[in-house]
Chain A
Amino acid sequence: MDEKPDTEGKREEIVREAHEMNFIDRLYLPALLKGLADTFRHLFEEKFTIEYPEQKRQVYPRYRGLHRLNKDELGRVKCVACFMCSTICPARCIYIVGAEAPWPDREKYPVRFDIDELRCIYCGMCEEACPVEAIELTEIYDMVGASRKDLIYNKEMLLEIYDRTKEKGGMKKWI
Chain B
Amino acid sequence: MSVRGLALFVLRRLAALAVLLMIISFGVFSLLYLAPGSAEQVLLQGRAVDAATRNEIREAFNLNEPFLQQYRLWVSGAIRLDFGESIRTGEPVLNAILNRMGLTIFLGLYGFIVAMVAGLSLGILAAVKSRTSVDRGIVMFSIVGASAPPFVTGVFLLYLFAVLLGWFPAFGQGEGFADRFWHLTLPALALAFGGAALVVRLTRAGMIGALDQDFVTFARARGLSPRRVLRAYALRNALIPVVNAGALMLAFMLTGAALVEVTFALPGIGALLVESVNFRDLPMVQGLSMVLATVVILVNLATDVIYLFIDPRISYSETTA
A, B co-complexed: no
Report A's interface with B, CB cutoff 8 A: none
Chain B residues within CB distance 8 Å of chain A = none
